[in-house]
């Protein structure tokens, strides 16, 4: 049985990704720091709840130890947990604003990935998906004809650019794993204030598509739906 873990899986794109993976026959663990919300989402979907705060080293270590006891391995890790960060102008932007978002969006990925690497190495076809954004794509943000060009998002954008670099670095060092960044699409969730061009279910399907690639699938890429996005 394939075992998947989705961080931040109690709502939004994470929850929709978990639901899609369950539909595809995977055993899914929802990682969330809020036990009440995490357990409620897990019960609703038919998933398992795993207490996990991506901003805390001891929490990540404890979650990995618990999953090791319960399953012994991990086949799919979806690093989905993320925040948009403060809404700032050039004048109000600060290092503290950056640090708060990076703690979840960047350091959280490193923290969780490092904690679960031993379990991923126990899989015959391990996959890591880092949920990213075209706002972190230099190719998109510098294209004057693209939707991202006019958006000022130094916190979120730079964090997602860092996520993309982490993806490439992990992919190079883990040739036996498929490690990719995925842009799920502009989605109507709490993070976007309910604004978006698609539903969480559509976004979850996009993430799940890349979470379920086979051992011969691509690695070290930035994917958008069924295509390759620019770095």
Out of 29, 49, 156, 224, the active site residue is: 156
**Cα angle vertex 27, ends 23, 33, to 5°?**
105
Give the domain CATH number at 200: 3.40.50.720
The rounded distance, in Å, linking the Cα atoms of 131 and 84 is: 13
DSSP class of 190: G
What is the extent of the structural domain holding 85? 3-228
Longest dimension (CA), the chain: 52
Nearest-CA neighbor of 59 among 6, 137, 112? 112
Number of domains into which the chain is organized: 1
Residue 29 designated active-site: no
Q: Give the tens place of pLDDT for each residue, 124-183.
A: 999 999 999 999 999 999 999 988 999 999 999 999 999 999 999 999 999 999 999 999
Active-site residue, from 160, 170, 172, 224: 160
Half-sphere exposure of residue 143: CA atoms within 13 angstroms, side-chain side: 14
- CA 76 to CA 65: how far, in whole Å? 16
Q: Give the separation between CA 102 and CA 72, rounded to whole angstroms.
A: 30
pLDDT in tens, 50-105: 999 999 999 999 999 999 999 999 999 999 999 988 899 999 999 999 999 999 99
């Amino acid at each position: 049985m394939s075992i998947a873990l989705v961080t931040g899986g109690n709502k939004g794109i994470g929850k929709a990704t978990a639901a899609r993976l369950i539909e595809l026959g995977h055993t899914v663990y929802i990682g969330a720091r809020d036990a009440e919300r995490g357990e409620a989402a897990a019960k609703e979907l038919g998933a398992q709840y795993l207490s996990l705060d991506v901003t805390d080293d001891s929490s990540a270590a404890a979650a990995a130890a618990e999953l090791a006891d319960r399953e012994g391995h991990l086949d799919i890790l979806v690093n989905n947990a993320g925040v948009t960060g403060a809404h700032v102008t050039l004048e109000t932007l600060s290092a503290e604003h950056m640090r708060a978002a990076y703690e979840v969006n960047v350091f959280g990925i490193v923290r969780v990935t490092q904690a679960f690497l031993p379990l991923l190495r126990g899989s015959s076809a391990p996959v890591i998906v880092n949920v990213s954004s075209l706002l972190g794509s230099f190719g998109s943000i510098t294209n004057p004809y693209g939707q991202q060009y006019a958006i000022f998002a130094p916190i979120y954008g730079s964090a997602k650019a860092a996520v993309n670099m982490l993806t490439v670095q992990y992919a190079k060092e883990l040739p036996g794993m498929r490690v990719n960044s995925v842009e799920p699409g502009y989605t109507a969730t709490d993070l976007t204030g309910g604004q978006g061009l698609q539903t969480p279910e559509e976004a979850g399907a996009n993430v799940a598509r890349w979470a379920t690639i086979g051992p011969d699938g691509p690695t070290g890429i930035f994917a958008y739906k069924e295509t390759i996005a620019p770095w």
